[in-house]
């Protein structure tokens, strides 16, 4: 009896693990998001430009919206400085050549030489362009109280 229950539980765990496993495209998107995270911390102009679509619409939690040039410039010029970025509760959904990514972003900042902390929700839209996933849109939102 115990063997039967153990086998049933193992079977359920294996099957449920398969249901929640990332597809290869979802993994590609998650890897791009991780590359974006690292590029934002480093202020890496080439990486930020290569990971962003020319049509980028980058929305801040304040409501400010920037294009690709302004997005890259804020990190390269040091207007926006992330000392750390931690992403949690990330979900990735693929719809054709578009990926919808949601996560919570926490981190330490030093914007305009003023230390701070950030805790926001993020919606990213990535689009596959010429075989590569690129950030097409991003909107941050404050955590609801």
pLDDT tens, the chain, 145 aa long: 555 444 444 444 444 444 457 899 999 999 999 999 999 999 999 999 999 999 999 999 999 999 999 999 999 998 999 999 999 999 999 999 999 999 999 999 998 889 999 999 999 999 999 999 999 999 999 998 8
CB 71 within 8 A of CB 44: no
The phi and psi torsions of 71 (rounded to 5 degrees) equal -60, -50
Alpha-carbon gap, residue 70 to 41, rounded angstroms: 16
Which domains can be identified in the chain, with CATH numbers?
A: 23-142 (3.10.450.50)
Q: What is the pLDDT of residues 36-77, one digit of tens each?
A: 999 999 999 999 999 999 999 999 999 999 999 999 999 999
Give backbone dihedrals phi and psi of 24, rounded to 5 degrees, phi first: -65, -35
């Amino acid at each position: 009896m115990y063997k039967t229950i153990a086998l049933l539980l193992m079977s359920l765990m294996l099957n449920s693990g398969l249901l929640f496993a990332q597809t290869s495209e979802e993994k590609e998107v998650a890897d791009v998001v991780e590359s974006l995270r690292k590029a934002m911390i480093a202020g890496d102009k080439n990486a930020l430009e290569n990971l962003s679509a020319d049509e980028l619409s980058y929305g801040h939690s304040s409501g400010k919206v920037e294009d690709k040039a302004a997005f890259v410039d804020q990190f390269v010029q040091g207007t926006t400085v992330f000392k750390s970025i931690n992403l949690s509760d990330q979900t990735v959904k693929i719809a054709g050549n578009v990926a919808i990514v949601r996560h919570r972003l926490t981190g330490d900042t030093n914007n305009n030489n003023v230390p701070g902390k950030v805790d926001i929700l993020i919606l990213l839209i990535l689009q596959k362009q010429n075989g590569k996933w690129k950030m097409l849109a991003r909107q941050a939102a404050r955590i609801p109280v």
